Amino acid sequence: GPFTLPLKKDKAEERAPLSLGCGHPYFPPLVSRVVGGEDTRPHSWPWQISLQYSRNGAWGHTCGGTLIATNWVLTAAHCISKSNTYRVVLGKQNLKQEELGAVTVGVEKIIVHERWISLLVINDIALIKLAEHVVPSETIQPACLPPAGELLPQGFPCYVTGWGRLWTNGPISDDLQQALLPIVDYATCSQPAWWGSMVRKTMVCAGGDGVTSACNGDSGGPLNCYHGDVWQVFGIVSFGSAEGCNTLNKPTVFTRVSAFIDWIHKVGVGMLEQSSGGSVWFLTLD
């Protein structure tokens, strides 16, 4: 295809410098053109978080999410219920095991988009303010936000990550999974045989080849796209087909993060400043 992937398999043992910016994993992901989901290289998506809530005295994974600053997480509005108590677990690979470098943080507040309409699944975005700042490490690092308004072309290779069921009858995995989902442009995805008017310009579709898509367990998690030499959280898993995960012409639909940059800055995270080195530094507004 016309797009270059950020890492080849033979560079598996490479380490990246630990940067203070975003979107540069210390352990770069092993991305391939494998169709279907696969286990991830441990800690290669260090912004992936597990959103958990307390039920019957135990904590359970309910949704994914993305660290975008040292005290802010991006997730889907539909993941949030007012009656639940939440926590965020960062630096995880296997949800069942105790892991060095994993951190559990409480939640200070959750901001659901004020125009979230569940019936239409529009504005499916929420920000979680952590009770404390996390320290970036080899296993915990923010993803970059895309530039406001950015669109990616048809076929651009992105990766959905999560602990949910990534393909029909696939496992609900304890180990973090990744799957290649190429971008489907709006003109295609809004065709009647695809998602039609269900899909809005504030959304982005990916997958839809009938082979892989994100399934029910991955709500709120990132669509990771390597663009501009960094990994961006380009989408938030929002909805898919009730007919099954991998229905032809029914790609996974994501909230398009680049449509909500102003909202993110306004309600929560301070404006991101580009430093001269091209790294992104996070200023947080309390």
61 is catalytic: no
Phi, psi values for residue 106, rounded to 5°: -75, 175
The residues with which 94 forms a beta bridge, in sequence order, are 175
Q: CB 215: neighbour CB atoms within 10 A?
A: 26
219 is catalytic: yes
Residue 31 near residue 25, CB atoms below 8 Å: no
Strands of the chain, DSSP E: 37-39, 48-55, 58-69, 72-75, 86-90, 103-112, 126-130, 157-162, 177-184, 203-206, 222-227, 230-239, 252-256, 273-274, 280-281
**Annotated catalytic residue, options 24, 61, 78, 227:** 78
78 is catalytic: yes
**Annotated catalytic residue, options 50, 113, 124, 238:** 124
First to last CA, the chain: 44
**Which residues are known catalytic residues?**
78, 124, 219
